Structure 1
Amino acid sequence: MTVTPPFDAPPSRSFGRRPFLCRLSALGLLAAFGRTAAAGDLPSGLEGTEVGHVLFDPEGGGILEQGAADRPFIPASVAKLPTVAAALALLGPDHRFTTSLLGTGPLRDGVLEGDLILQGGGDPSLATEGLQSLLDALRATGLRQVAGRFLHASGPLPELPEIDSGQPWAAPYNTGVGGLSVNYNRALLVWRPAAGGPPRPELLSVADAARLPLDSVAVRPVPAGGPFPVLPDGVDRWLAAPPGGEAAARWLPVARPGLAAASLLRRLAAAGGLPLPTPQMAPQMAPQMASQAGGVADGAAVLATLDSPPLAELARRLLRHSNNLSAEVIGLAAARRLDGTVATLERSAALLQGMLTRKPLEGGGWAGLRLANHSGLGTGSRATPRQMAALLRAGGPALWELLPGEEDGKALPPGVHAKSGTLAYVKGLAGLLTAASGRRLGFVLFIADAGRRAALDAALDRRVTTAPPEAQGWALRARAVQAGMLDRWVSTY
């Protein structure tokens, strides 16, 4: 089963799209950008922009080049590197997350005399195909009817409605988070033609196997012509205008991932001849009880299970596709090894940060480092180039071997394997490169315009999902500076 995770983000006021760049043939110009950026003399259009970098030996830690190495920057998705490093250390690369179907009563003559429970185990890759596999295993037990309730539970992890409250409401990368998630917690809004009337909206859960209606999320059509085509109308309830000249389909975040997974499983079960009651949240997993680690599994019999791929493979996909949900779920699971009651992303990220920063850091030290969550979504996190370099080194080969490169479809030069991070007026890249001499070097590069970034945050309108054009132009120029510095490092060393 292979479901491609969605990329982090389309353009937004808080999280801009990674711009597509054709390969630039003017390497001399790019190299010049790299030299001027290192010297603090940036090309036109980047006035007010700051560049911080560290080029270092990943084995011994010695620094070959540095600039503004102790200045704090917003790391954006580069923050996924310490998340993966901590998770590999705490859970191990072979760790698997288990999704289960449980029964609270005996199974007699095909009837479950009790409740059926769909319990998550933190698998960020669970998809429609996995739910179908669970149902196939359930049928193999002989179950044909459920006398009790159909419940869903987030298992050992809390369920949260969104990652960062500073994002647009309709941002598909700012999904709900929980131990029970499906199809990356996104819904596809499509408009179906209707005979003799306006098109009607429908929300689908999308996987490789099928696109199925998502019964837990609803949309109500409103007249076209307003400035905001999609607005929230409650939790997993939307107001949407017909697309008009815009694309006829768009992604939306799912805020109640456990209910979405249970609703999808119920639909699949019905198609296979197994009617299930309307899903309900298990009482023990109500919001006020979300910090309880035990969930509802105690005393229930296991009827079917599904294991995720090993953590190393999940982490490889996470770094390649930069999926925020995967980072948050994996980070929460790792933090639960340190504190089984942690119930917020901020506290969870702080626990992993504490684990990774036990050893003192020479130079500027760890002062000012802040990981606000596990994905880097939002502007609450801060890290200096020196700090991020130390975190990258702490991950060691287990992390380094998972870094994506050109062969993974990334716009990186040959021999460069790194994790990028992008927000409007924020650009970051950290990883390893192989220089022309054959030497392997580590690097961290942050580029940001703090003033324009702060102005965007101050003017945040959660109804708006597109970045201003000037931010997209800035991103193109920052990407050229980044490419120039990489080219210079590769050719010089």
Structure 2
Amino acid sequence: MLLTKFCRTAMFTLCGIAFSTASFALDESDIQLSLKAVKLPADALSLVVRPLTDIAQPPISYRADVPVNPASTMKLLTTFAALDTLGPTYQWQTQVLGTGQQVGDRWQGDLYVKGQGDPKLTQEQLWLLLRQLRQKGIRQIDGRLLLDRSFYSPIEDNDESLDGEDERPYNVPPDPLAVNFKTLRVQMLNQNGQMQLSAEPNLPGLTLTNQLSVVDSGSCLTWKNQVAVKVTQQGDQTNLLFKGKFPAACDMANYLTAVGSHPTFAMASVRDTWAELGGSWPLLAKNDGSGWLAEAVTPVDAKLLAAQSSESLVDIIKDVNKFSNNLMARSVFIAIGRKQGTGKSPINESNAVIRQWLTTNQKSFPELVLENGAGLSRKERISANHLADVLSLGWQSSYMPEYMASLPIAGIDGTLKRRFATDMQSSAHLKTGTLNNVRALAGYIRSRSGQWCAFVAILNHPSADRGVGLLDQLAGYVYENY
């Protein structure tokens, strides 16, 4: 039986098995007994514990040099490499440029929206961008809206996902113009017992079919258990069928899904936001996409009319690591290579820059496989030892406070908000990793005695989920014994 607290006596208990702490560090037989207790084989775990402040303390190393799938703990490499190569103040910029001229309150000519891959180009950021046009006195635009997505070439897996669940927001690929994470928000509004559905943005070709009924059971916390949504796509037409029972006790709820393409989503978002700002754009009036869904490279003589900068990288990586945001992680990964490259082969360029960065830091990771830098991959590989090397580099860096601050705090926030509700709460900054067949935990632990350690524990096995408690208890062992 997994324990929720960790012994402070001469014995410690891991997965119901008691071991002596006389030798202090776990040995191979201890770890294998613990794996056996949760019905996992000896080769399911890779583990590294590396003291950082008291190097006289004994490290722990178990299958540390074996290449493993790290899941989202790969974000530790991507985010620190970005901090060190791009700098904490690095920003992305989205621009509006025009060919034509302003006559009174009208812009006579075409407008281009040019993206640089802002990882967090939210609805609020888009509103601030377009508001600049209104502040210039522009009310009506007599021309086309053209999207400039030339900052980097389409990502190789742009039309595929890891698990076939393309409509899940975590599977959205990066894009030079990824507006609001390409995530559609469907508002389900309970109006006196009648359900009403509305979508934001109002995508062309989108139909919402409402077969919801209002019932007395359930609450706003449980509505997802009673409502099913079926997505059907035929060509440019998308239908979302809502079926089930919506709780009468809940006035409103939001359903999030990733449907449509990046260009269509960006176009619809610009059109709807411009209308909300009181603007008029006759060519965008129709909602079937005809005559206005277009892309082009911005002419060199186009006039800059508006520009909106993203949050700084140091703030972006907090969302990446604390909430394991895949689209943002992949966008950061591309930015690493794009700053020095052409954007024609963004994945390869970022790979090359990261490997050169490792070389500059006198590191060589021959087993390293980077597919997207987010860990949302069946191909990505790194050893526990080398992931601990990344953490060690981060510890020694002048950016250490910013890097550590990006990680979830045990029992406090992010993906660890509901884990480690023990004496260990707030004493660890750890990134989680979850995929089918993978469970991982890696980051920094401050022990009860005040010593800091780098910690990497990765399970690769079809039943890896059995070992989640084991990962937590290994972290607890480090907290109690270092």
Counterpart of 1:24? Answer: 4
Helix, strand or coil for the counterpart of 1:341? Answer: coil
Q: Which moved more, 1:228-237 or 1:46-55?
A: 228-237
Q: Deviations over 1:238-277 (max 9, x none)?
A: 4444332599864322452243133122112123331123
Is 1:437 the counterpart of 2:426 in the alignment? no
Q: Is the 8 A contact 1:125 1:184 kept in 2?
A: yes
Q: Distance in 2 between matches of 1:322 and 1:201?
A: 29
Q: Distance in 2 between matches of 1:297 and 1:129?
A: 27
Q: Distance in 1 between matches of 2:326 and 2:49?
A: 27
Q: Is the 8 A contact 1:186 1:253 kept in 2?
A: yes
Q: Distance in 1 between matches of 2:80 and 2:32?
A: 32
Q: 2:409 aligns with which of 405, 409, 418?
A: 405
Q: 1:53 aligns with which of 29, 37, 47?
A: 47
Residues 94 and 253 of structure 1, relative CA distance in 2, 3 Å threshold: same
The structural deviation recorded for 1:217 is 6.5
Q: Is the 8 A contact 1:201 1:219 kept in 2?
A: no
Q: Distance in 2 between matches of 1:239 and 1:435?
A: 53
Q: Is the 8 A contact 2:186 2:255 kept in 1?
A: yes
The structural deviation recorded for 1:330 is 1.4
Equivalent AA in structure 1 for residue 365 of structure 2:
W
Helix, strand or coil for the counterpart of 2:136? Answer: coil
Q: 1:164 aligns with which of 151, 154, 161?
A: 161
The structural deviation recorded for 1:141 is 1.1
Greater RCO, 1 or 2 (C-alpha within 8 Å, sep 6+): 1
Q: Is the 8 A contact 1:429 1:446 kept in 2?
A: yes
The structural deviation recorded for 1:159 is 4.5
Counterpart of 1:210? Answer: none
Q: 1:482 aligns with which of 466, 471, 474?
A: 471
Counterpart of 1:275? Answer: 280
Counterpart of 2:431? Answer: 419
Counterpart of 1:338? Answer: 340
Is 1:354 the counterpart of 2:334 in the alignment? no
Q: Distance in 2 between matches of 1:485 and 1:181?
A: 39
Specify which structure has the higher proportion of strand. 2
Is 1:129 the counterpart of 2:124 in the alignment? yes
Equivalent residues in 2 for 1:54-133 (5 A)?
54-58=48-52, 64-133=59-128
The structural deviation recorded for 1:182 is 2.2
Q: Is the 8 A contact 2:53 2:451 kept in 1?
A: no
Q: Is the 8 A contact 2:139 2:279 kept in 1?
A: yes
Equivalent AA in structure 2 for residue 178 of structure 1:
D
Equivalent AA in structure 2 for residue 340 of structure 1:
T
Q: Is the 8 A contact 2:336 2:350 kept in 1?
A: no
Equivalent AA in structure 1 for residue 407 of structure 2:
L
Q: Distance in 2 between matches of 1:189 and 1:261?
A: 17
The structural deviation recorded for 1:29 is 4.6
Q: Distance in 2 between matches of 1:235 and 1:478?
A: 43
Equivalent AA in structure 1 for residue 169 of structure 2:
P
Equivalent AA in structure 1 for residue 270 of structure 2:
L
Q: Deviations over 1:68-93 (max 9, x none)?
A: 00112111111111111221122210
Is 1:308 the counterpart of 2:303 in the alignment? no
Residues 87 and 282 of structure 1, relative CA distance in 2, 3 Å threshold: farther
Aligned-residue sequence identity (percent) comes to 24
Structure possessing the higher radius of gyration over alpha carbons: 2
Equivalent AA in structure 2 for residue 310 of structure 1:
S
Counterpart of 2:184? Answer: 187
Q: 1:320 aligns with which of 307, 319, 322?
A: 322
Counterpart of 1:492? Answer: 481
Residues 175 and 486 of structure 1, relative CA distance in 2, 3 Å threshold: same
Q: Is the 8 A contact 2:99 2:111 kept in 1?
A: yes
RMSD, aligned α-carbons: 3.5
Structure 1: segments with no counterpart, 5+ residues = 1-21, 205-212, 285-294, 453-470
Q: Distance in 1 between matches of 2:177 and 2:3?
A: 40
Helix, strand or coil for the counterpart of 2:369? Answer: coil
The structural deviation recorded for 1:220 is 6.1
Q: Distance in 1 between matches of 2:324 and 2:37?
A: 30
Q: Distance in 1 between matches of 2:445 and 2:430?
A: 8
Q: Distance in 2 between matches of 1:282 and 1:492?
A: 61
Q: Is the 8 A contact 1:97 1:122 kept in 2?
A: yes
Q: Distance in 2 between matches of 1:421 and 1:146?
A: 47
Q: Which moved more, 1:320-329 or 1:403-412?
A: 403-412
Q: Distance in 2 between matches of 1:371 and 1:61?
A: 31
Helix, strand or coil for the counterpart of 1:358? Answer: helix
Q: TM-score, normalised by structure 1?
A: 0.76
Q: Is the 8 A contact 1:31 1:488 kept in 2?
A: no
Q: Distance in 1 between matches of 2:246 and 2:354?
A: 42
Q: Distance in 1 between matches of 2:235 and 2:449?
A: 56
Q: Is the 8 A contact 2:337 2:346 kept in 1?
A: no
Q: Is the 8 A contact 2:6 2:480 kept in 1?
A: no
Q: Is the 8 A contact 1:191 1:242 kept in 2?
A: no
Q: Distance in 2 between matches of 1:29 and 1:388?
A: 27
Q: Is the 8 A contact 2:147 2:295 kept in 1?
A: no
Q: Is the 8 A contact 1:40 1:51 kept in 2?
A: no
Q: 2:199 aligns with which of 200, 203, 228?
A: 203
Structure 2: segments with no counterpart, 5+ residues = 20-25, 213-227, 248-252
Q: Is the 8 A contact 2:231 2:241 kept in 1?
A: no
Q: Is the 8 A contact 2:208 2:240 kept in 1?
A: yes
Counterpart of 2:270? Answer: 265
Helix, strand or coil for the counterpart of 1:233? Answer: strand
